[in-house]
Amino acid sequence: MSEHAEIAKKGKKSVSPLMIVLFVLLIIYTLFMLLPLFWGLGQSLMDGNRLDSTVIPWPSDWKFSNYIDAFVHFYVPVQAESGTVYPTLVYMFGYSLVYAVGSALVATFVQCLVAYLTSRFNYVLSRIINVFVLVAIALPIVGSLPSEIQMAQSLGLYDTLFGIWIMKGHFISIYYLVFFARFKTFSKSYEEAAQIDGAGHLRIFFSIMLPLVKNLFWTIFLIQFIAFWNDYYTPLVYMPSYPTVAYGLWYYNQSTENALTLPMKVTGCILMLIPVLILFAIFSKRLMGNLTLGGEKE
């Protein structure tokens, strides 16, 4: 009995004052992060015809009809051959899904592939690519929009969903460096064993190296998916015939006809936020850092 009691006593950890302070600060930080969301929810249920705003929105009459009104007026005029059409929010959700999923998948795969090539093949070109990525990330490129639009039109990539996927397929990103660092941790014995069995470089990448970084791949894919989902600038400039939800929200808030009051503006924002919240609730563990290492280390 005495031995078990001693083990149980050692197992108990005393809570230090520093841990208590950090826990309280974490709770306060969490509340401040959630406060804008609760403020927006309260504001979206206020009277949609109300012009003034309150610091603490608490509706006396809960106006759930604001969401119906915002849904009806959430559209973007698009010039087509038959005239002006008005894609509704349902179509915008579809365009956003195709744009965000396709762009995130292509961008993540290209970054992963190039990082594999530069990390596992120690050539001069590999080092040049690394330097180029670091310089391109550190030095922002400005003033290239007119030439990019002209190039996209010349190549037939302008105003097409497939074309925008190709334009997003580049490796100038911080995630390229993340993939590069991960591939560097893997042992050379993987390639050597596969090459002895007759596997080529393409087979090694798809059958061995890509499965080893699948957790990292899908985590970066989800992060980029959310970024593309919230992107309104690219659809506005490069694919005006396929307005996404983010593009629609920008137009909704710019149009005095659709959003005259603050409650209606916030309601439009909540409509766009709902899919992102659902996605975060489903994949929260992966988004919060499920980046487990696989395989052996050197």
- Look at residue 295 and tell me whether its pLDDT is greater than 50: no
CA 168 – CA 26 distance, rounded (Å): 37
| Closest by Cα among 158, 172, 168 to 238 | 158
Share of the chain above pLDDT 90, in %: 26
Token representation of residue 126? 């590999």
Under the banding of pLDDT at 50, 70 and 90, the label for residue 291 is very low
CB-based burial, 25-53: b 16+ in 10 Å, e otherwise: eeeeeeeeeeeeeeebebbbbbebebeee
What are the chain's domains?
A: 71-287 (1.10.3720.10)
Dihedral sign of CA atoms 197, 198, 203, 204 in order: positive
pLDDT one-digit tens code per residue, 115-168: 999 998 888 988 999 999 988 888 877 777 888 889 999 999 999 999 999 999
In this prediction, residue 138 carries a pLDDT of: 83
263: tokens are 């409650």
Report the pLDDT value the prediction gives residue 296, as an integer from 0 to 100.
Answer: 45
How far is the C-alpha of 143 from the C-alpha of 150, rounded, in Å?
A: 13
Check residue 4 and give its pLDDT: 55
Contact 98, 161 (CB under 8 A): yes
Percent of the chain with pLDDT over 70: 84
Q: Residue 298's pLDDT is what? A: 43
Per-residue pLDDT of 49-66, as tens digits, reads: 665 566 666 767 788 888
Cβ count within 10 A of residue 230: 16
- By residue count, the chain amounts to 298
**What would the mean pLDDT of 270-285 be, rounded to a whole number?**
78
